[in-house]
Structure formats: structure tokens, C-alpha cells
Amino acid sequence: DAGVTQSPTHLIKTRGQHVTLRCSPISGHKSVSWYQQVLGQGPQFIFQYYEKEERGRGNFPDRFSARQFPNYSSELNVNALLLGDSALYLCASSLDNEQFFGPGTRLTVL
Amino acid sequence: AQSVSQHNHHVILSEAASLELGCNYSYGGTVNLFWYVQYPGQHLQLLLKYFSGDPLVKGIKGFEAEFIKSKFSFNLRKPSVQWSDTAEYFCAVFLEGGSQGNLIFGKGTKLSVKP
């Protein structure tokens, strides 16, 4: 069975640009969460979506947005990129209270 | 604000040594507790979880953890580590009543096992 997949694996952007990250959950999972993991820190919650609706939002600025599609895949969008947005962005899909993580997208902002 | 503390940033052990990684959380309500592991170059994987019942939970690869409610702790243990246990370990908490997808993670503990 395929796990959570994310694309792209790596991305390099410059300050002020916009980025879109994509996530496909495990088949049958209807909930997707996004986390940001800065080097040396644990993952920090950004958003959760369930059945295409936002169910939770972490302490991130409005430059961060997300959506979920009818097939339960999800996009995370970040506008006006800052150097501090450089991080590993993790997607997790969940069934009940257990989350399954994808490999992440490594975003570097120059 | 709720938080999770992992006291050890980097632990170095020899093979066959015993392991205990500390985890404390700050929240007075009901919690679900998790330990995740991230092997070099791989994604986060669930080691074990506690929702309710027996406070001593057993996970994969010989790991176990004990929930001590009075100490707000959920320490991870393994009696005898192997070189293949070299990885980063994250404690995480889900707050009952919170967003289901919202896990609060500690900063992680890097474990290096010398062969």
C-alpha cells in the first residue's frame, strides 16, 4: 500500500515568491494535516483539513493557506516567502487519532 | 500555552546499553501521547501510543513507554539498544478536545548508538 506522498521533494525559491506544496494521503484517509519542521526543532502544526473543511489552524501568518480536494489530496500555499520559511514541510494523513507522515518537502528560501 | 519538553538533545550510547528518553508535557486535561522515530533519510514513523488503560505501553522494535499522570511524563525506554536504533526521537501530545490533526511535538532527541 502506498503511504503518504508529497511533491516536490526539494524546492528552492527566493524571498517574496510564492510556493505550492502537494500531498496525497493514504487511500481511505479523509484527514490531512500540515506541519513545518525547522532544523533542530520538532514539527509545528500549521493546518488540518477533514472532508475539505479546515478543522484546525496553528499559529502561522495569513501568508500560509491550504485546501483539500474532493479526492482528499491537499495543497499548502505560502505567499511572500521569507528566509525564515525555509524548513521541511510535512504532510500527515490520519485515521482515528493516529497520523501517518509523508517524507516531506524541503523548502529553501534564498 | 501547552508544550512538550524533551530534556536530552543528544544521547550517545554503546550497543546493549539501556535507554531512557524523557518527555514531559504541560497540560492538565486528558491527553493522548505518542513517540515517533525518524531514522536517517526516512520519514517520521510511529513507535508507540497511549490513549487510555494500562500506563505501560509497548511499541515496535522493543520500545516501551510509561505514562505517569502525576508527573505529566511519558518516558521512552528500551532495555538494550542496537546500532540500528540510531535516529531522532520525538515525543508528541494530542490534546483531547483539540483539533484531531494537531499534534504538539517536542524538539526531539538525537540518539547515536556506537557499535
Over the stretch B48-107, which tens digit does the pLDDT of each residue have?
A: 999 989 999 999 999 999 999 999 999 999 999 999 999 999 999 987 665 556 889 999
DSSP A77: E
Is A42 in Cβ contact with B92 (below 8 Å)? yes
Determine the distance in angstroms separating the CA of B114 from the nearest CA of chain A, rounded to an integer. 22
Of B96, B85, B76, residue with least CA distance to B35: B76
C-alpha cell at B43: 520519514
B113: helix, coil or strand? strand
- Reported as a single tens digit per residue, the pLDDT across A45-73 is 999 999 899 988 999 999 999 999 999 99
Determine the distance in angstroms separating the CA of B9 from the nearest CA of chain A, rounded to an integer. 9
Cβ partners under 8 Å of residue B50, min gap 6: B32, B33, B34, B57, B65, B67, B74
- Cα–Cα distances in angstroms (integers) from residue A25 to residues A28, A86, A91, A93, A100, in the given order: 8, 23, 8, 5, 9
User: According to the model, what pLDDT value does residue A97 have?
Assistant: 74
Helix (H) or strand (E) holding B24: strand B24-26
Taking any CB pair shorter than 8 Å as contact, residues of chain A touching chain B are: 3-4, 31-33, 35, 40-45, 47-50, 55-56, 58, 90, 92, 94, 97-104
DSSP B19: E
Pairing status of strand A105-109 against strand A87-95? antiparallel
Pairs across A and B, CB distance < 8 A: 72
| Mean pLDDT, chain A, whole residue set | 94
Q: Is B77 on the interface with A (CB under 8 A)?
A: no
